[in-house]
Homo-oligomer: A and B are copies of this chain.
């Protein structure tokens, strides 16, 4: 047999994947920085000892992952991957599991409760102003579900931002699309009666940050979430007992 000439490859997984891993490691290691331009495809293909279609499979994969931006006629440029891709992927991973939309709120509470503690320490004047502004828009958009939801989001994301924790902010951004889904369906079933109450809860949370009282802030925030949760359950029960006969498919 002629099986005696494959020792030059670490672990052969196919040409495309080999090139993919090689280039990716160059990016994550910092050897290739954002903005750098890769050599032309024909040249790279020669260097990696693969054909151009195979080399392109690797490049395209990196591009889809956000590591590269390929511009026709110009070249392939290293790009800082966007957190939005993580978000997409996380969304999909979680969406595979049943009832995640009900569960995702736990992650939100986790992040915001820690963020608000840090915010009590680190929030700047600008942070507080931003949160105050979102509080104002919250008041002005009580009757608009869409704008109101946006103001609500800005209030909460303002808290996270005020924590000055990049990791918390990154996670929060990654969760945002999923939050939006559960958020929309939640807000839809909230009638006008409870809204003033929710506004007051937001105010109290904000004031606790202004007073720099972490424990109080977290407790009020937890209470805010708990009330929302309790209310959602009641609504679901009510909706279920009413429309139970209609429920089909």
Q: Is there contact, CB below 8 Å, between B94 and A85?
A: no
CB-contacts of A77-92 with B (<8 A): 80-81, 83, 85-86, 89-90, 92
Closest residue to A20 on the B side, CB-wise? Answer: B64
Q: Is there contact, CB below 8 Å, between B166 and A92?
A: no
Stretch at the interface among A52-60, A125-133, A185-193: A52-60
Q: Is there contact, CB below 8 Å, between B110 and A114?
A: yes
Q: Is there contact, CB below 8 Å, between A106 and B110?
A: no
Contact A167-B100, Cβ < 8 Å, known A53-B53, A60-B60, A64-B61: yes
Q: Is there contact, CB below 8 Å, between B81 and A93?
A: yes
A38 within 8 A of B: no
How many copies of this protein are present in the complex? Answer: 2
Q: Is there contact, CB below 8 Å, between A89 and B86?
A: yes
CB-contacts of A151-168 with B (<8 A): 163, 165-168
A96 within 8 A of B: yes
Contact A83-B92, Cβ < 8 Å, known A60-B16, A107-B171, A110-B111: no
Q: Is there contact, CB below 8 Å, between B86 and A168?
A: no
Among candidates B20, B92, B163, B170, residue contacting A28 with C-beta atoms closer than 8 Å: B92
A95 within 8 A of B: yes
A118 within 8 A of B: yes
Among candidates B17, B63, B111, residue contacting A107 with C-beta atoms closer than 8 Å: B111
Min C-beta distance of A70 to chain B, whole Å: 9
The residues of B that contact A170 with a CB separation of less than 8 Å are: 90, 93-94, 97
Q: Is there contact, CB below 8 Å, between B89 and A81?
A: yes
The residues of B that contact A86 with a CB separation of less than 8 Å are: 86, 89-90, 93
Chain A positions near chain B (C-beta within 8 angstroms): 16-17, 20, 28, 53, 56-58, 60-61, 63-65, 80-81, 83, 85-86, 89-90, 92-97, 100, 103-104, 106-107, 109-111, 113-115, 118, 163, 165-168, 170-171, 174
